[in-house]
Amino acid sequence: MSYTETISSLVESLFENSKKASSRFLFKKNKMPNDIYHSIDIIIKSKNNIAVTQNSRDFFHSISELNDHEFKELMLHLKNERDIDLKAMKSATQAYANENSEDNYINLQKSTISERKILFRKLNSFGESTIHLVKLRERIIKNTSTNQDYRKIDSDLKMLFIDWFNRGFLVLKPIDWNTPASILEKIIKYESVHQINSWKELRDRIDSTDRRCYAFFHPAMGNEPLIFVEVALTRDVPNNINQILNTERNPDRINTLNKAIFYSISNCQRGLDGISFGNYLIKDVVKFIQSELPMIKEFFTLSPVPDFMEWMKSSNNNLYNNINNHPSAETLTNNENLLNDLIRKYLLISDRSDDRPNDPVTRFHIGNGASMHQINFLADTSKNAIKYGCSFMVNYKYDMNNIKNNQKKYATDNKVSHKKNI
């Protein structure tokens, strides 16, 4: 055996032994919470990749067994004990202020990186580690409150995710009846706008002539979708969600359809909150549909108005109480004229300090370059739609020729581009 082969065999043997040791540790029960702090020290300080991988696996296993109190103690440790070294940062800042050389710049950069961030980077050392980190941030978000502020930790993770989940790494995939069942189950689970109640409903949304579904995936997240959008192909702009969700309809022939309606966008990973995927998704899906179905010329949404009732609470409390106490189509119809005035005020006149639209869905679509096309009353009379949006839904139009101008206008004056006399 040559020298090179001997070294290669030795490294392979060490790696296999480390995996076995890690496996024994992973399935060892009744481990003490203190083990996780030991793993943290090794991960941050070690320059041995094999040791980092082994201890990263141990860290994630330990964290999964922490109760709420132990998890809080760990967060406080990361927040207070693994922060930026202020003394080193001040020294590096002063050195760079005195001489802005390349070396001083690099030292300044290094000094602003907390031990938490070093830990999170090194934890991302094996196949499933990115998923574990996303789930860790999800738990951090769920446990953050006025009394438990973990924004430092959350910020370090979020900044890493912004780099790791940028558009260059995202993969757009159609979701259809040939998609693996494990992914289809997640589509049902993660649908957050219009609940999918059965496999029949799912099949109608992804396996009908006039329906499509597309999702973004990331190579490090396996079969976990990041976000998906459901699309209806139509001849007319729908003003009611039942026109789309009706599973008993007779689909039109594909060559008679000329519009694509985005009617549901669902983010799948709470741990990726604040990482923007939706704007890329819609634009990529438009391009995909245009290449696959060139007869589709126009693109619209049928979108909810999720915060309208909450806004109405302070704007017209008597009406809010009436609808909240008697949430029915009849109550809404009796107040149709007043509601139509209020919804236009809510959607088109900002009450916010930044002068941006009150409605988060409006901010999303207008910020993407869409324009407001139509406001629809009694568009969704389901219990939740009345509770949050008072049955209103909005059609936003994505005109490929005007997207850049609309985005520029919104960025300049925060105004909502909309159809005349909307």
- DSSP reduced 3-state for 234: strand
Residue 418: DSSP 8-state: B
Predicted confidence at residue 145, as pLDDT, reads 78
Q: What is the mean pLDDT of residues 26-41?
A: 67
Asked if residue 238 lies in contact with residue 262, where contact means CB atoms within 8 angstroms, the answer is no
pLDDT at 23 over 50: no
Q: What is the mean pLDDT of residues 178-186?
A: 97
∠ CA 376-379-385, rounded to 5°: 120
Q: What is the mean pLDDT of residues 411-419?
A: 92
User: In a 10 Å sphere around its CB, with 0-12 CB exposed, 13-18 middle and 19+ buried, how is residue 60 labelled?
Assistant: buried
pLDDT tens digits along 217-265:
999 999 999 999 999 999 999 999 999 999 988 877 888 999 999 999 9
**CA atoms of 409 and 415, how far apart (whole Å):** 7
CA distances from 396 to 110, 261, 301, 347, 362 (A): 45, 9, 5, 12, 8
Predicted confidence at residue 32, as pLDDT, reads 52
**CA atoms of 81 and 221, how far apart (whole Å):** 30
At the top level of CATH, the class of 3-164 is mainly alpha
Categorize the per-residue pLDDT at 109 as very low, low, confident or very high, splitting at 50, 70 and 90: very high
Q: What is the mean pLDDT of residues 84-106?
A: 96
Buried b (16+ CB within 10 A) or exposed e, 221-257: beebbbbbbbbbbbeebbebbebbbeeeeeeeeeeeb
pLDDT at 74 over 70: yes
141 or 253: whose pLDDT is higher? 141
Q: Which two tokens stand for residue 364?
A: 């999303």
∠ CA 48-49-54, rounded to 5°: 105
Q: What is the mean pLDDT of residues 14-21?
A: 43
CA distances from 222 to 54, 61, 206, 312, 360 (A): 21, 19, 21, 42, 30
Asked if residue 210 lies in contact with residue 246, where contact means CB atoms within 8 angstroms, the answer is no
CA distances from 94 to 41, 91, 99 (A): 29, 5, 9
Predicted confidence at residue 316, as pLDDT, reads 97
Categorize the per-residue pLDDT at 16 as very low, low, confident or very high, splitting at 50, 70 and 90: very low
Say how far residue 2 (Cα) sits from the centre of its chain. 52
**Pairing of β 259-267 and β 298-301:** parallel
Predicted confidence at residue 13, as pLDDT, reads 47
| CATH number 3.40.50.300 is the correct assignment for the domain at 167-301 | no
User: In a 10 Å sphere around its CB, with 0-12 CB exposed, 13-18 middle and 19+ buried, how is residue 263 labelled?
Assistant: buried
Domain boundaries along the sequence of the chain? 3-164, 167-301, 304-413
∠ CA 132-138-140, rounded to 5°: 105
Q: H-helix or E-strand containing 334?
A: helix 329-334
Provide the whole-model pTM. Answer: 0.86
Q: What is the CA radius of gyration of the chain?
A: 26
Report DSSP letters for 198-229, one per residue: SHHHHHHHHSSTTEEEEEEE-GGGTT--SEEE
**CA atoms of 314 and 316, how far apart (whole Å):** 6
Percent of the residues in the chain that have a pLDDT greater than 70, as a whole number? 92
- By C-alpha distance, which of 196, 204, 182 is closest to 248? 204
User: In a 10 Å sphere around its CB, with 0-12 CB exposed, 13-18 middle and 19+ buried, how is residue 83 labelled?
Assistant: middle
CA distances from 45 to 39, 42, 85, 122, 186 (A): 10, 5, 15, 10, 38
Instruction: Share the mean pLDDT of the chain.
Output: 91
Categorize the per-residue pLDDT at 24 as very low, low, confident or very high, splitting at 50, 70 and 90: very low
Amino acid residing at 309: M
pLDDT tens digits along 198-207:
999 999 999 9
- The answer to which of 47-51, 143-147, 278-282, 291-295 has the lowest mean pLDDT is 143-147
Predicted confidence at residue 252, as pLDDT, reads 76
The yes-or-no answer to whether 3-164 and 304-413 have a common fold is no
Categorize the per-residue pLDDT at 33 as very low, low, confident or very high, splitting at 50, 70 and 90: low
What is the dotted CATH code of the domain comprising 304-413?
A: 3.40.630.150
C-alpha dihedral, 311 to 316 to 319 to 321, nearest 10°: 70
